[in-house]
Structures are given as structure tokens and as C-alpha cells.
Amino acid sequence: MNFMLLLFSIFTFVLSCIVMIIASFLSKKSILDREKTSTYECGFDPVHLARLPFSLRFFLIAVVFLIFDVEITLLLPIASILNYTNIFSWMFTSLFFLFILLLGLYYEWFQGALEWSE
């Protein structure tokens, strides 16, 4: 039984490595041409830049929101398993998880990642 599990794990690992190597070779761009990478406006040179500047602050706020949104989805099942576990272990696990979330929030706050304007 253990040998089959080990064999299956090795097979899965080798197969995933082969797929990643093939994907990295197939995803390489061949030659970057100025005409191919520029925007097309009926054969004329573009009037404006096609790529608008992107706010890095907005991106950081979005990533922090996404992280805490995923953490909230991890908190939701805690209430539903209360009847199936020991109250002490449930309380310890819940408080420890919330403590880690608060540490992350305070770290982001003190680093200034939550401030929109400087």
C-alpha cells in the first residue's frame, strides 16, 4: 500500500514537471518586433499611449483586500464545526487564526500599505 502511494506520488511529480517544462518552452515569444508590439490605428502611428499608467497603490490595496477576503472564507467554516469539536481546541484554533490575521493587518498598517495617498 505504501509502495503504491510512493509510486503514484513520484509519477505525479514527474508528470507535473514535464508539463511545466513543455509549457515554458511553448510560451516563449520568438522575436519582438516594434510593429507587432505597437498599437494599430489604421496604419498610422498611435496618437496616445495604449497602455495607461497603473497606480501601484491601487494594486497593493487590491492584493491586501484579496488576501483578507480569502481569509474570511477560511473563517466561515469555523462556526459550523463548533458542534463537532472540543470547545477548547475550537477556541484555541479560532483565536490563534484571528491573532495571525490581526498581526498581518497591523503589519500592513504600519508599513503604510493601507494609506491611499502619501
Cβ pair 98, 78 in contact under 8 A: no
pLDDT reported for residue 34: 64
d(CA 68, CA 101): 8
pTM of the model: 0.48
Q: Which residue has the cell 473563517?
A: 75
What number is the average pLDDT over the span 42-71? Answer: 73
pLDDT reported for residue 59: 80
Q: What is the mean pLDDT of the chain?
A: 80
What number is the average pLDDT over the span 37-51? Answer: 61
Domain 2-111 fold is Methane Monooxygenase Hydroxylase; Chain G, domain 1 (1.20.58)
Domain ranges of the chain: 2-111
Joined together, the cell numbers standing for residue 10 give 513520484
- Whether residue 44 is predicted with pLDDT greater than 80 in this model: the reply is no
- Whether residue 82 is predicted with pLDDT greater than 60 in this model: the reply is yes
Helices within 1-118 (DSSP H only): 2-26, 34-37, 56-80, 87-111
